[in-house]
Amino acid sequence: MKKIALLIASAMLSLSANAASSRSSWVVSQVYNYNHQFAATGSADLATKMSTMANSPFLFYRGTAHIFYQDMATLPASLYTSVQTGYTWLGGDTHLGNFGSVRDSGGAQVFAAGDFDEGYLGQFVWDLRRMAVSMILAGRENGISDADITTAINTVAGAYLDKMDAFKGTSDELTFQLKSGNTSGVVQDTINAGAADSRSSLLSKYTQLNGAARVFQTTAQLQVVPAATYNALVASMGDYVNSIASSKRYASGYYAVKDIRQKLGSGVGSLGKLRYYLLLEGPSSSTSDDVIVEMKQSVPSAVTAAANGRLPASTYAYNEGNRVARTLKA
pLDDT at residue number 16: 58
pLDDT at residue number 82: 83
Per-position DSSP letters for 56-77, written without gaps between them:
-HHHHHHT-HHHHHHHHTTSPP
pLDDT at residue number 1: 46
Pairwise CA distance, residues 218 & 277, whole Å: 12
Write out pLDDT tens, residues 37-66: 999 998 999 999 999 999 999 999 999 999
What dihedral do alpha carbons 263, 266, 269, 273 form, nearest 10°? 0
Write out pLDDT tens, residues 162-175: 999 999 999 999 99
- Report which of 238, 297, 287 is spatially closest to residue 259, judged by C-alpha positions: 287
Q: How far is CA 36 from CA 25, 28, 33, 48, 118, in A?
A: 16, 12, 6, 14, 18
pTM summary value: 0.88
Write out pLDDT tens, residues 127-136: 999 999 999 9
Structural domain boundaries of the chain? 1-54, 55-197+301-329, 199-296
Q: Is 6's pLDDT higher than 80?
A: no
Write out pLDDT tens, residues 199-236: 889 999 999 999 999 999 999 999 999 999 999 999 99
